[in-house]
Amino acid sequence: MTEGADSGPRLVWREAEVLAVVAETASARSITLRVPDWPGHAAGQHVDVRLTADDGYQAQRSYSIASPPEQADIVLTVERVEDGEVSSYLTEETRPGDRLELRGPIGGYFTWTGTLPGPLQLVGGGSGIVPLMAMLRHRANERTRPAARLLSSWRTRDAIIYRDELERLASDDPQLAVVHTLTRESPPGWSGPRGRIDADMLRAFAYAPEQQPRLYVCGPTPFVEAVADALVQLGHAPECIKTERFGPTGDR
């Protein structure tokens, strides 16, 4: 229980410069940020982003860091949610050269470092894939890698974030399996599973309790709670399941 446990200065707000904005899907953007004096981060940590309007009104939200610790400039991947105050601004208005206020890195619980034993089982719903991607990118940079599996849930095929990169990572690495499930459509030629992640799907695609995986589950709150419950039902020890809830909608 010492991972990420440490002491240090209190969190401060910093001004970050937007270096690049890349479209991942129709509604998700990856934003590369240069943060002065960035102390480095662990895979799985997040930042808080604060926007201030001309009249002084402020809105603040959390965003996971998508880039691995090896990379100096940090990348956030933001999915626009319908009528979302902050995500709409970040995905639609933000341009290279803009400045954003952020603080971090934040959190030490939902983190993975390459030194942890056991296969890595990642389960993500929608943008919940972001911190899991930081873990997979970090893992790809490590010399000795535990076997890893990612099971992720999406409404449609076109909504899948990082699809090409994940395919590439998995095709270069027999120890990595990536499975996407679709909940809202069944496109022609789709060979992956369909439907929500439940105990049956976890039994089919995730490591069994005997393999003692390290489990990371991230996504909308109802998704995380349903997956964590199913994992416990399958016999995984609750203390091996790390979860991070992203918020309201469970509509995956």
Partner 1 sequence: MERTTDDLRLDGNAAAGLLGEIFAFETTTAITICSGCDRASPVGTLVLYGQHMGAVLRCPGCGQVMMVVTRPHGEWWLDLRGVRIMRVAAGPSRDQAR
State the residues that interact with ligand FAD by CB under 6 A.
Answer: 46, 61-64, 77-79, 81, 83-88, 127, 130, 220, 244, 246-249
- Tell whether residue 124 is a contact of partner 1 (CB under 8 A): no
Q: What is the 3-state secondary structure (H, E, C) of 107-135?
A: CCCCCECCCCCCCEEEEEEHHHHHHHHHH
DSSP code, position 155: S
From the list 1-9, 114-122, 163-171, 206-214, the region that binds partner 1 by CB under 8 A is 1-9
- Tell whether residue 10 is a contact of partner 1 (CB under 8 A): yes
Beta strands in 24-168 (DSSP E): 28-34, 46-52, 58-64, 74-79, 99-106, 120-125, 148-154
Partner from ligand FAD, partner 1, none binding residue 9, C-beta < 5-8 Å depending on class: partner 1
Contact 140, 110 (CB under 8 A): no
Partner from partner 1, ligand FAD, none binding residue 234, C-beta < 5-8 Å depending on class: none
DSSP code, position 43: B
Q: How far apart are CA 82 and CA 163, in angstroms?
A: 22
For partner 1, what does the binding mask look like between residues 36 and 65, x meaning CB under 8 A?
---xxxx---x-x-----------x-x---
Q: How far is the CB of 211 from ligand FAD (least distance, A)?
A: 28
Contact 124, 152 (CB under 8 A): yes
Partner from partner 1, ligand FAD, none binding residue 56, C-beta < 5-8 Å depending on class: none
Q: How far apart are CA 249 and CA 252, in angstroms?
A: 8
Q: How far apart are CA 11 and CA 27, in angstroms?
A: 30
Residue nearest to ligand FAD (CB): 84
- Tell whether residue 7 is a contact of partner 1 (CB under 8 A): yes
Q: How far is the CB of 126 from ligand FAD (least distance, A)?
A: 7
Contact 167, 160 (CB under 8 A): no
AA identity, residue 57: Y
- Tell whether residue 223 is a contact of partner 1 (CB under 8 A): no
- Tell whether residue 30 is a contact of partner 1 (CB under 8 A): no
AA identity, residue 151: L
Partner from partner 1, ligand FAD, none binding residue 190, C-beta < 5-8 Å depending on class: none
Interface with partner 1 (CB under 8 A): 1-11, 39-42, 46, 48, 60, 62, 69, 103-110, 221, 225, 242-248
